[in-house]
């Protein structure tokens, strides 16, 4: 793979120079959905799918980008002295945003770069291709210019770039998982404090299978903002009755005791999800540590139920996939993953069931919704870095 990309680099940008290679993974969140902006816990892991970067220094102040995935766009050029988001910049606004965020913090980029990008994260799958590209860019800049930043800093810089350069109000989870991933471990992250621990994901008899519904509904951005606003209002109502800073501060019992102060039934459902999902994430990590994979699967199933009915961020196609998966013997747990309204499900499937899972669910899904799903049997990989 890397040798082929280097060959393409030379064909695109010309021969010579010191070539460096980097990789940043995508991520899947095993449990803890829509908790990151409610002061709760998330439990993502880095994947072995991700974004590759082939890089060479330039002697001027020009940045030249080329994506193997979008080769029809060709080489996109910009100056280090003119880093602003533009429609014409297309996908390069993501790496440009990271350059912008470094410069905003006082870091000086002394010369330009030629950068070739290739990603094997399926487009629009909800596995964080944009965060992967941002973290990749951060690692490239840290290594090239010797910037004194940690991998947590790189995650925060990537989030800043996405929020304030590209205008997407995402939480920290995606960039954090890409930057801080660890092979065969998921990251138990408190999004309120950024305190985290690694939890080994030992599945000797099962695999993680991601199923891409191949749909993404257009209401995702407005609905996402609606959910955030509903939770913020519910929090203010709860704060009149109990001393909390976030919904993640509440146990299930405390929520049930005080939920009547939330005047609107919709807001009550949204807050219930945030509280219960945070507790599910905590219990899921405990289950993994106890090697109770069956309980972990039950918590995944309960997570989907809550996202479907209380938070209402699922959709017909995703529910079809989850219902089919949960009904199949050998499937330990299955749920929607990511922001919702399309995208992917994540399932834990016993080894001997994986082939049947792909074949039977693929067939039934095509019959029910009229188009094919895609399946990825994934491994948990390390976080971003330079490749030898």
Query: Annotated active-site positions, please?
Result: 174
- Six token digits for residue 321: 């996939």
**In degrees rounded to 5, what are phi and psi of residue 98?**
-70, -40
C-beta neighbour count of 231 within 10 angstroms: 23
- The sheet with strand 331-337 has its strands ordered as 331-337, 342-350, 206-216, 374-378
Distance CA 204, CA 223 (A): 39
Chain Cα centroid distance, residue 157: 15
Q: Is 378 helix (H, G, I), strand (E, B) or coil?
A: strand
Q: What is the DSSP string of 187-202?
A: EEEETTT--EEEEE--
H or E element at residue 354: helix 354-356
Q: Nearest 5 degrees, angle CA 121-CA 91-CA 97?
A: 105
């Amino acid at each position: 793979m890397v040798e082929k990309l280097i060959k393409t680099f030379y064909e695109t940008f010309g021969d010579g120079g010191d070539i460096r290679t980097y990789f940043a993974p995508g991520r899947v969140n095993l449990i803890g959905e829509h908790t990151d902006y409610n002061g709760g816990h998330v439990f993502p892991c880095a994947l072995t799918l991700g974004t590759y970067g082939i890089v060479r220094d330039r002697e001027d102040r020009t940045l030249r980008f080329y994506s193997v995935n979008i080769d029809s766009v060709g080489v996109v050029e910009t100056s280090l002295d003119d880093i602003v988001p533009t429609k014409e910049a297309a996908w390069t606004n993501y790496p440009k945003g990271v350059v912008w965020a470094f410069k905003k913090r006082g870091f000086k980029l002394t010369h330009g770069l030629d950068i070739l990008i290739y990603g094997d994260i399926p487009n629009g799958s909800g596995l964080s291709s944009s965060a992967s590209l941002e973290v990749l860019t951060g690692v490239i800049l840290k290594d090239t210019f010797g910037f004194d930043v940690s991998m947590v800093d790189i995650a925060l810089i990537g989030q800043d770039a996405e929020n304030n350069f590209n205008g997407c109000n995402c939480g920290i989870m995606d960039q954090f998982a890409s930057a801080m991933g660890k092979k065969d471990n998921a990251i138990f992250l408190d999004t309120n404090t950024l305190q985290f621990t690694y939890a080994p994901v030992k599945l000797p008899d099962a695999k993680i299978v991601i199923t891409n519904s191949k749909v993404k509904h257009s209401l995702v951005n407005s609905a996402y903002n609606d959910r955030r606003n509903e939770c913020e209002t519910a929090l203010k109502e709860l704060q009149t009755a109990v001393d909390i800073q976030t919904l993640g501060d509440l146990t299930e019992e405390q929520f049930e005791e005080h939920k009547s102060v939330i005047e609107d039934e919709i807001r009550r459902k949204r807050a219930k999800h945030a509280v219960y999902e945070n507790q599910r994430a905590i219990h899921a990590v405990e289950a993994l540590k106890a090697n109770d994979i069956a309980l972990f699967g039950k918590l995944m199933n309960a997570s989907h139920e809550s996202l479907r009915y209380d938070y209402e961020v699922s959709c017909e196609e995703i529910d079809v996939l989850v219902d089919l998966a949960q009904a199949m013997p050998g499937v330990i747990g299955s749920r929607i993953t990511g922001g919702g309204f399309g995208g992917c499900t994540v399932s834990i499937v016993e080894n001997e069931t994986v082939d049947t899972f792909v074949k039977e669910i693929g067939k039934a899904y095509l019959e029910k919704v009229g188009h094919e799903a895609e399946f990825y049997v994934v491994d948990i990989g390390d976080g971003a870095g330079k490749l030898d």
